[in-house]
Chain A
Amino acid sequence: MSSPIKVATASLAGCFGCHMSLLDIDERLIDLVGHIQFDRSPLTDIKKVGPCDLGLIEGGVCNAENVEILKAFRRQCKILVAVGACAINGGVPAMRNQYSLAECLEEAYLHGTGIDNPQIPNDPELPLLLNQVHPIHEVVWIDYFLPGCPPSADTIFTFLDELLSGRPIQFAYQQIHYD
């Protein structure tokens, strides 16, 4: 194997479940260590994405910061992959698309149960929410999709293993599911 490939990862409007699934590949991580070097990722805490061979995006796009991060990833990554249901179709966060943004905020911060001092947060540091949650392919070009909520560790490992070895990417039947 030649020099390690650079990989960046990010969780946008996701729950970090797909990142947990990546860690779930367990002792096979040791096989990957020599072949992969992490750039920006919650695993390294590097904040800015540099030039990478592979970008893995978990979660859909729900706010302005998500859009910026996603566009930065697209600029820097040769291959960009949508990992998991939320990146692919918005997933559970996109269920808010049934309501207006005002309705969502009012329910969460003004009229919901057990709310003390009701007010809609408006600190300038908070990224502005988009009207709807979007799948990431609606914002940038995506090269590959790994479905699942989350994609199983096996699916993620198969993908990385086949990508690293240059084989065509193929999955066993049980490795592809949308739930």
Chain B
Amino acid sequence: MTNSFEIDGITVPFSNGQTIMDAALTAGIYIPHLCHNPEFKPHGSCRLCTVLINGRSVAACTTPAGEGIVVENETHELVTQRRLLLKLLFVEGNHTCPGCEKSGACQLQAVAYHCGMLAPEFVHFYPKRSIDASHPDTIIDFNRCILCELCVRASRDSDKKAVFNISGRGIQAHLTIDSPSGKLADSAFNSSDKAARVCPVGAILPKHKGYNIPIGQRLYDQAPISQVGDVAKHQEVADE
């Protein structure tokens, strides 16, 4: 007899130690997320995976699954809330999709499509941020960073390098690179690192292959993220 709980009326089996997100991913039920990647310790910061258990808001990626709990996921209220969060993410950075190499394979876009966002609608911040093109193989565009900390976790836990970190608080929070000059070229980063392949947006990009796959033929151009899953998973497959 396996343990089970319910997401939007669907019975989902789980094993001990699994989070709601783990069990949902295994069962093929999509809960929107940006900072979660099953290969790394959950971070619970983007809040897009917020679901309701008995009317209480919890992050699906950090909350353990429990026998018989009833989880609400794709409700009108939660989708509206997620759309709001996404709009805030869009106006907080500089997300010029038509000029971004990641467009079409960007998880921020894909989740926003899933949640039915037509436009950010808030006042745009247009923060002044830089680009680090110092490294021969990889470019960092800070304009697009959403502070998901996936590169931080990958570099620290997988690559054992801790090249990336988040500094500052609140609206001042920003991605930093651990090197004497603060530039990627002077860090221990290598383009074969795990950290090079986990960015859900166009903040960490490989150089020289931006348009190998034409716009229109990219991961999320034809099928929604709820069907094809996270971009990081596909990047792994493409690299092998």
Contact = CB atoms under 8 A, between A and B. Distances in A.
Interface of A: 82, 85, 88-92, 94-95, 97-98, 132, 134-135, 137-138, 144-147, 149, 173-174, 176-179
A145 B126 contact: no
Interface stretch (B15-23, B44-52, B92-100, B157-165): B92-100
Contact of B126 (A98, A149, A174, A179): A98
A82 B126 CA distance: 19
Interface stretch (B112-120, B132-140, B179-187): B112-120
B119 A88 contact: yes
A98 B94 contact: yes
A177 B103 CA distance: 9
B118 A89 contact: no
Contacts of A145: 118-119, 121
A179 B103 contact: yes
Interface string B164-190: 000000000000000000000000000
Contacts of A174: 221-222
Interface in B185-218: 215
Interface residues of B, number: 27
Interface string B23-60: 00000000000000000000000000000000000000
22 contacts: A82-B119, A88-B119, A89-B119, A89-B120, A90-B126, A91-B96, A92-B96, A92-B98, A97-B126, A98-B128, A135-B124, A137-B119, A138-B124, A145-B121, A147-B118, A173-B113, A173-B222, A173-B223, A173-B224, A176-B113, A179-B100, A179-B215
B90 interface: yes
Contact of A94 (B121, B123, B126, B221): B126
A94 B99 CA distance: 11
Given A90-B124, A173-B223, A173-B224, 4 more contacts: A89-B96, A95-B94, A179-B98, A179-B109
Contacts of B113: 173, 176-177
Contacts of A98: 94, 126, 128
Given A145-B119, A177-B113, A179-B98, A89 B103 contact: no
Nearest to B116: A176
Contacts, number: 73
A147 B90 CA distance: 14
B161 to A, nearest CB: 30
A110 to B, nearest CB: 22
A97 to B, nearest CB: 4
A139 to B, nearest CB: 11
Nearest to A178: B97
Interface string B77-111: 00000000000001100111111100110000100
A89 B124 contact: yes
Query: Which of A85, A134, A145, A178 gathers most chain B CB within 10 Å?
Result: A178
Given A98-B126, A98-B128, A176 B98 contact: no
A132 B128 CA distance: 12
